[in-house]
């Protein structure tokens, strides 16, 4: 039986030292990936899954290092179990080769999903409150209202094209077009 570790961080700025340190002593192989768990392409993860044989064990440090959601975690664990592959969450000492391990794994997966959805809901509620108070959410606008007014005049009165005005303002054409459209929609609503 081989114990194969999958180690993941979401961005190059994040460190995987904690995972490596925790898994080095208990695993035969370590495979490291820098990729968001939500990414549809995780080549290292897919390669690790291909390498696992009946009797092997996939080991991760934390539950969220391998799976996107509870459904994903349970589905993947079931696929592994069907192949005779076990799964271990090292920092929690959960091992799906035992009935108790499967039970605890299922409960923790549900709790992790609940936490993720609760955080998402709180974020959306906070953004809604901020919008009601007049705060703008998102990236700062590239063009001011004054710049957009000037651009609109140059296009409507001066006969210039959106592309030429955008070039002069040193912004992509789609940025100017979208900004002008947004400003026109706002004026219509008011």
Quick check: helix, strand or coil at residue 3?
A: strand
Q: Are strands 3-9 and 29-34 parallel, antiparallel or unpaired?
A: parallel
DSSP 148-180: HHHHHHHHHTT---HHHHHHHHTS-HHHHHHHH
Quick check: helix, strand or coil at residue 130?
A: helix
HSE (CB half, 13 Å, CA atoms) of 185? 6
Give the residue numbers marked as catalytic: 10
CA-atom Rg of the chain in angstroms: 25
Q: Is 3 left (phi over 0), alpha (psi -120 to 50) or beta?
A: beta
């Amino acid at each position: 039986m081989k114990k194969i570790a999958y180690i993941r961080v979401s961005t190059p700025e994040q460190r995987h030292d904690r995972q490596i340190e925790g898994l080095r002593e208990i695993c035969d192989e370590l495979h490291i990936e820098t990729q968001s768990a939500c990414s549809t392409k995780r080549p290292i993860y897919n390669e690790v899954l291909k390498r696992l044989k009946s009797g092997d064990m996939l080991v991760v440090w934390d539950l969220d290092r391998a799976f996107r959601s509870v459904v994903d975690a349970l589905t993947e664990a079931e696929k592994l179990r069907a192949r005779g592959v076990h799964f271990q969450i090292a920092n929690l000492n959960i091992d799906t080769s035992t009935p108790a391990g499967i039970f605890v794994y299922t409960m923790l997966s549900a709790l992790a999903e609940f936490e993720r959805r609760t955080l998402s809901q709180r974020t959306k509620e906070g953004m809604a409150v901020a919008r009601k108070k007049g705060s703008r959410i998102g990236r700062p606008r590239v063009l001011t209202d004054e710049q957009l007014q000037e651009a609109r005049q140059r296009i409507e009165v001066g006969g210039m094209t959106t592309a030429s005005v955008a070039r002069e303002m040193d912004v992509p054409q789609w940025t100017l077009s979208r900004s002008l459209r947004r400003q026109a929609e706002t004026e219509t609503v008011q």
